[in-house]
Chains A and B, each alone.
Chain A
Amino acid sequence: NAGVTQTPKFQVLKTGQSMTLQCAQDMNHEYMSWYRQDPGMGLRLIHYSVGAGITDQGEVPNGYNVSRSTTEDFPLRLLSAAPSQTSVYFCASSPDRSSYNSPLHFGNGTRLTVT
């Protein structure tokens, strides 16, 4: 009964380093998404996917890459980390390709600091 699992929970990077935030779900959900949460700005959508091989950009995609090779996994890649990417990142999934029809299931987040 794992749900949405995000790893790592915490990460500190230096400016210019790259890394991948992992997200896996065991509910066979088609829809997966990545959000970042910043104080006073709520949650902003980075990228989302409506199925394996299909991704689309959200509100703030710059500096991030995604791919969806399997239903279960939706990794978020930071190509060259910048201090502006310091944030809490949430992965969320839903059984429906139209996210309004079923609730989003959220992971517990990854807290990323870029120095």
Chain B
Amino acid sequence: AQSVTQLGSHVSVSEGALVLLRCNYSSSVPPYLFWYVQYPNQGLQLLLKYTTGATLVKGINGFEAEFKKSETSFHLTKPSAHMSDAAEYFCAVSDLGDTGFQKLVFGTGTRLLVSP
């Protein structure tokens, strides 16, 4: 079964600083990888995804992630943090269910704190 590991349950940055949220995956086949964001008291929404093709993926709100097969990583970055980026971020990988259909497996999440 596929899985993802997110290093760091909390990450703190200052406004304007680089954001780096780490995600490593475990997969025996080429994975489909995702980053989702959850704002307080809301459901999750998709930031970006990697399926095939270009390994540097750009998402919404200035975020991007790079798929590195050699490192089994899919870290999320943003050059300059904004106060509105404060949220919880989840990395996810697509896995094959017993019925043969794809399903998503989420990491444990990283809470991003942005200080003025």
Contacts and interface: CB of A to CB of B under 8 A. Distances in A.
Contacts, number: 79
Contacts of B101: 31, 48, 50, 56, 97-99
B45 A106 contact: yes
B103 A48 contact: yes
Given A4-B43, A92-B43, A106-B45, A99 B102 contact: yes
Contact of A56 (B51, B98, B107): B98
B103 A58 contact: yes
Interface stretch (A12-20, A35-43, A74-82): A35-43
A33 B103 contact: yes
Contact of B102 (A54, A98, A103): A98
Contacts of A41: 108
Contacts of A101: 51, 102
Nearest to A9: B41
Interface in A43-64: 43-45, 48, 50, 54, 56-59
Nearest to B42: A108
A56 B102 contact: no
Interface in B85-116: 90, 94, 97-99, 101-109
Contact of B104 (A99, A108, A109): A99
Contacts of B107: 42
Interface of B: 6, 9, 32, 34, 36, 41-46, 49, 51, 90, 94, 97-99, 101-109
Interface of A: 4, 31, 33, 35, 40-45, 48, 50, 54, 56-59, 90, 92, 97-101, 103-104, 106-109
